[in-house]
Amino acid sequence: MESEFTGCFYYSKTTRWASVWGDIPTESYVRPGFLMSTEERRVYFDTENEQLRDYWWDGFDDSSVASFIEVIKLTESRLYEDRLLTKRIEDSLSVSQLKNYADEVKKLVSDIEKLNFIYSYLPDKEIDGIPMQWFKASEYILKEQNGILNKNTVKNLASDAFIQRTIDNLSAIGTR
């Protein structure tokens, strides 16, 4: 049905949704139902199917949306309070590399126009309101650090760095 939706958690130091390659723990990307007991799933998913973990809610039904919110409230802390998973994320070389790339883009983005660089992997226009200099800085950093370089990696890194900068700015406002 068109009104159905589901949800997933992604726990990482990066916002590159569902990045679970290399040594990135696959458990950092999980549906809420996998963090619930059988009894909890019976209550919130309204089913006797004990194996059901991937549930879909109806966005046009207020009680279904309320149930989704309750499931998220119930399960979110279970993910980020998993100390072993947190340590595996912290120790992941792949996560560290992705975070480093985004940090370097954030540092470079305001000065990117000063560089004399020929771009090969830029999108034709801004994507999702992300200004073009973020894509330029991403391509430059990936090239300089011998990262995987193609239109998709440039787009993903630009998005990650832009979202991280937005979160950084919101966090700075919250601490004032």
Rg (CA), the chain: 19
**How would residue 34 be classed by pLDDT, with cut points 50, 70 and 90?**
very high
pLDDT tens for residues 150-163? 999 999 999 999 99
Give which of 72, 14, 19 is closest to 44, Cα–Cα: 72
Q: Quick check: 138 and 154 in contact, CB under 8 A?
A: yes
pLDDT at 48 (0 to 100): 78
pLDDT tens for residues 35-64? 999 999 988 887 777 788 889 999 999 999
Q: Which pTM does this prediction carry?
A: 0.84
Extended strands (E) in the chain? 4-5, 9-10, 29-30, 57-58
CB 117: neighbour CB atoms within 10 A? 14
pLDDT tens for residues 78-135? 999 999 999 999 999 999 999 999 999 999 999 999 999 999 999 999 999 999 999 9
Q: Tokens 């990650």: give the residue.
A: 160
Arithmetic mean of pLDDT over the chain: 93
Question: Distances from the Cα of 86 to the Cαs of 49, 50, 92, in angstroms?
Answer: 31, 28, 10
Q: Quick check: 109 and 133 in contact, CB under 8 A?
A: yes
